[in-house]
Homo-oligomer: A and B are copies of this chain.
Amino acid sequence: MHFASDNTGPVHPRVMQALAKANDGWAMPYGNDALTEAVVAQVREVFEAPEAIVMLCATGTAANVLLLSTLAEPFETIFCSACAHIHEDECNAPEFFTGGTKLTLVEHVAGKMSPDALRRAIEGEGNRGVHGPRRGPVSITQVTEKGALYTLDEVRALCDLAKSYGLATHMDGARFANAVAALGCTPAEASWKAGVDALSFGGTKNGLMAVEAMVLFDPAKAEELDYRRKRGAQLFSKQRYLAAQMQAYLDGGLWLEMAQSANANAARLAAGIEAGGGRLHAAQESNLIFADLPRATHRRLKAAGAQYHLSGSLDGAGDEMLEARFVADWSLSEALVDQFIALLKA
């Protein structure tokens, strides 16, 4: 009953097989290998973007900050929601890799920025000449850190707004697979067709060992990103092992299959939580659920070994509702979800 994170489950067996298969003979290092060449072509095909720049790296933070440093000047500010991963969970890596940009925090609901909130934030910066920072790129997390899903129209509206100010757009797609699965659209529709210039295409949270693809839909900055990746200590010598993971991820749509399973189990879990007296913060839209449950219930669940993030302490006299985060990943089974729900209702 492991709902703590989408980083706790195992790597998908087909990915492990791909690694084993890649472990054969010699291959040129630093991306000059056949697997890397193949996977770049494959990502381009999946995204219907034959000229896109595709480079692999190993952590979500790396993908985000390398792309942002390619889009932003150090005297600019990056617009993102106040709960964005790049603000909350990357220990100043964006400030570091960009050479000192500021992040301007945008109001949000469950991590989603509205065009109005974004416009207010943009208007609030870039209006003091050189005294304040210049306006820089807009970063959108899809699905958000709070589990919410932007519709394609909503993404397009934010990107259109950014473009109306001449600003580039970045999508933190650590859970891009879950978004595409939930939206039922194509990867192209969820990214460049909606106005996204640069995408962190996540793999690690969805069944890979440690691979993300950086996708720049405008090839003009290819060389810069290449140098920045190396300078950022993210150019892997034995890159075939990153490529092998990404290849297995895309082959036969495994990435979507895993995301669909995770989303479905999250839906099952959400229904169960509600049926069991829990209060969902919002309708389930992805593989993340935030819900309140009574303290006594939490005590029982935790005692039985359920793992999830809990805000607040199990100790305490009263029986208030305490907030929890539940994450479903590809490796979760219906049986495990049902076991948890049974425990909850017990």
Contacts and interface: CB of A to CB of B under 8 A. Distances in A.
B241 A209 contact: yes
A236 B130 contact: no
A132 interface: yes
A58 B88 contact: no
Q: Size class of A's contact patch?
A: 35 or more
A34 interface: no
A25 interface: yes
Contacts of A241: 11, 209-210
Given A95-B101, A210-B236, A234-B59, A226 B130 contact: yes
A25 B10 contact: yes
Contacts of A132: 88-89, 91
B62 A233 contact: yes
Contacts of A103: 102
Nearest to A87: B102
A92 B102 contact: yes
A contacts with B: majority SS? loop
Given A26-B331, A62-B233, A75-B92, 10 more contacts: A7-B30, A30-B131, A90-B230, A91-B130, A92-B100, A92-B231, A93-B231, A100-B231, A209-B238, A232-B233
A12 to B, nearest CB: 9
B100 A7 contact: no
B91 A227 contact: yes
Contact of A230 (B20, B29, B91): B91
A99 interface: yes
23 contacts: A7-B238, A11-B23, A16-B23, A30-B131, A58-B58, A59-B235, A61-B235, A74-B231, A75-B224, A75-B228, A75-B231, A77-B92, A88-B131, A89-B132, A90-B131, A91-B131, A91-B132, A91-B133, A91-B231, A96-B231, A130-B230, A210-B237, A233-B233
A7 B25 contact: no
A61 B233 contact: yes
Given A9-B26, A26-B9, A26-B307, A65 B133 contact: no
A204 interface: yes
Nearest to A229: B130
Given A16-B19, A26-B8, A134-B227, A74 B61 contact: no
